[in-house]
Amino acid sequence: MMRSIIAPIVLLAALLAGCGSSAPLSKHDNFSYLYGKSGAQMPLQARVHHTSPERSRVYYKLNTKDLLYKSDGGGGPFHAVVRISYESYAAFGSSVLLDSASTIIDDESLDPSEDKELIGSMDLRRKEQRSFVLKIMARDLNRDLQSTVFLRVEKDGTGGRQYFMPVDTAHGLPLFSDHFKAGTVRVRCETCIGKTLTVKHHPATGAMPAPVFNTSSTSAATTLPADSSFNVSVDADGVFTMDLSLPGTYRIAADTTSEADYCVYSVADAYPLVVSPDDLLKPLRYITSNQEYDRIAKSGDIRQAVERFWIDAAGDRERGREAIRIYYGRVENANRHFTADAEGWRTDRGLVHIIFGVPTSIYKTDLAETWIYGEENNLMSLNFTFKRRNGSFSDNDLVLERDPLLKGAWYRNVESWRNGRVYQN
């Protein structure tokens, strides 16, 4: 394995291992850990990039501050040892392992508190040019902690979204989000060299999802129709630059006759974090009345008014601050996991995650997720089913099947928040 240090970023070129055996995915697998605490302890980011119709790579990123560095004595050097592996399956619930590979990262540092990004890649086999599910795992071998990410590898034409990858300006390293603050972004697409691409801008919408019981209204509105368009030219290295000065969605089409495209999003500066007064205010809409929300929005100091709301709800400052920590922690977690055409906290899964917390069980298929709070097959349990939205620009956009029977549970949990009582931490 080669290792080279670039600025504060470490680029790791992983060696590909052969196929191996592993327990297959199952329709009975519980995926609740994907959105729970373990992933937050060692966040793993990953993305797939097709460099040609026949060749693909899976990129991954970890932060050194989330790893355990150990010394063999004498005060250094310190080593973090991580196994990166992937497994591919035809679909969720498949019993057939298509392929697997793994590599070991041994990162050496004289300062174990140093905060660096560990970025690496592995070749990805696509023998039959079919779509499949990719399970990427990172295990910190110094403390036996694992983080897992699932990606859908699409069988797209050469204009499909996984042929595009945003990269940093300084070193051309991959970026692991398609959401950026206003400015410019560089994107790589090797199959687009020399082409002129059409980009359509869709303005941002502030629409919010309806409560889980409101069947007369569905989830937050999809992206608005395009209000402008422009062209970008791809250079000889397969790279082009885009201006993201307007908030909203930028939809890039390599071929105007195809529905295959790639989207980047211009979002608030702090995303996915909750930092600004506006970030604090808007998610409160889920648990406040119209009058309360307007009063806080029109106050001279929104941040202070939000804090006062929570202290009043909890009954004292300490409990109020704990409620703030948990509530906005869920907002940030929703942004990391559920962002699609809208920020994660404004999606249906984000709504349920914020109000109800991490489910007891999550079951996944290629097109849907089922969340269960409580014991399965118990009449007192709560079930939420999310299905992929037709026509969405993102494959992470799932819509809740709303149910009037969830009305009581919704108001009980909202009232708990308003009283400063939190069932899950």
Neighbour-count burial of 110, counting CB atoms closer than 10 A to its CB (0-12 exposed, 13-18 middle, 19+ buried): exposed
Whether the predicted pLDDT of 408 surpasses 50 = yes
Region of poorest pLDDT, from 1-5, 197-201, 349-353 = 1-5
Residue 39: predicted pLDDT: 53
Residue 37: predicted pLDDT: 60
The dihedral formed by the CA atoms of 51, 201, 150 and 268, expressed in degrees to the nearest 10: 120
Q: Model confidence at 163, in pLDDT bands (50, 70, 90)?
A: very high
User: Mean pLDDT, to the nearest integer, of 63-68?
Assistant: 94
Residue 220: predicted pLDDT: 55
Q: What percent of the chain shows pLDDT beyond 70?
A: 87
Nearest-CA neighbor of 133 among 157, 97, 107, 104? 97
For the chain, the domains span 2-155, 166-267, 277-418
Q: What's the CATH code, domain 166-267?
A: 2.60.40
Region of poorest pLDDT, from 32-46, 146-160, 260-274, 361-375 = 32-46
Neighbour-count burial of 2, counting CB atoms closer than 10 A to its CB (0-12 exposed, 13-18 middle, 19+ buried): exposed
User: What's the mean per-residue pLDDT of the chain?
Assistant: 86
Per-residue pLDDT tens digits for 202-240: 998 888 999 999 987 655 556 688 999 999 999 999 999
Q: Model confidence at 391, in pLDDT bands (50, 70, 90)?
A: confident
Whether the predicted pLDDT of 11 surpasses 60 = no
Whether the predicted pLDDT of 5 surpasses 80 = no
Residue 236: predicted pLDDT: 96
Same CATH topology for 2-155 and 166-267?
A: yes
User: Mean pLDDT, to the nearest integer, of 307-327?
Assistant: 92
Looking at per-residue confidence, does 268 or 61 come out higher? 61
CATH class of this structure's domain 2-155: mainly beta
